């Protein structure tokens, strides 16, 4: 009986371990760039490509524009 319980516990642990490892995404690439114009405006771009465990690829682009505060 103890042997059966040990086998069941090991199988449950292995199954739980596979479920925790499956959900991880892998970052394939990440690119960041920024530029400053003559009036002080800063433009930033960030591109990220990730790959899920099932093989699907997701591309994310984020752009930001920051203007300097007006001077009195």
User: What separation in angstroms does the CA of 14 have from each of 6, 17, 39?
Assistant: 12, 5, 59
Alpha-carbon span 13 to 10, nearest angstrom: 5
Instruction: Tell me how far apart the terminal alpha carbons of the chain are, to the nearest angstrom.
Output: 84
Specify if 4 maps to a domain. Answer: no
Structure confidence by residue, pLDDT tens digits, 9-40: 788 777 676 655 556 778 889 999 999 998 88
**Domain count along the chain:** 1
- Phi and psi at 56, nearest 5°, equal -75, 140
Is the pLDDT score of 46 beyond 90?
A: yes
| 58 in a structural domain | yes
Answer whether residue 7 is part of any domain: no
Q: Give the integer Cα–Cα distance in Å for 1 and 27.
A: 46
What range defines the domain where residue 56 resides?
Answer: 25-64
In a domain, 72, yes or no: no
Between these two residues, 8 and 57, which has the higher pLDDT value? 57
User: Is 15 inside a domain boundary?
Assistant: no
């Amino acid at each position: 009986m103890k042997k059966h319980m040990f086998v069941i516990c090991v199988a449950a642990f292995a199954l739980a371990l596979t479920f925790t490892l499956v959900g991880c995404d892998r970052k394939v690439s990440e690119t960041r760039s920024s530029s400053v114009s003559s009036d002080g405006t800063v433009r930033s771009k960030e591109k990220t490509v990730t790959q899920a465990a099932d093989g699907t690829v997701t591309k994310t682009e984020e752009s930001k524009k920051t203007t300097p505060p007006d001077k009195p």
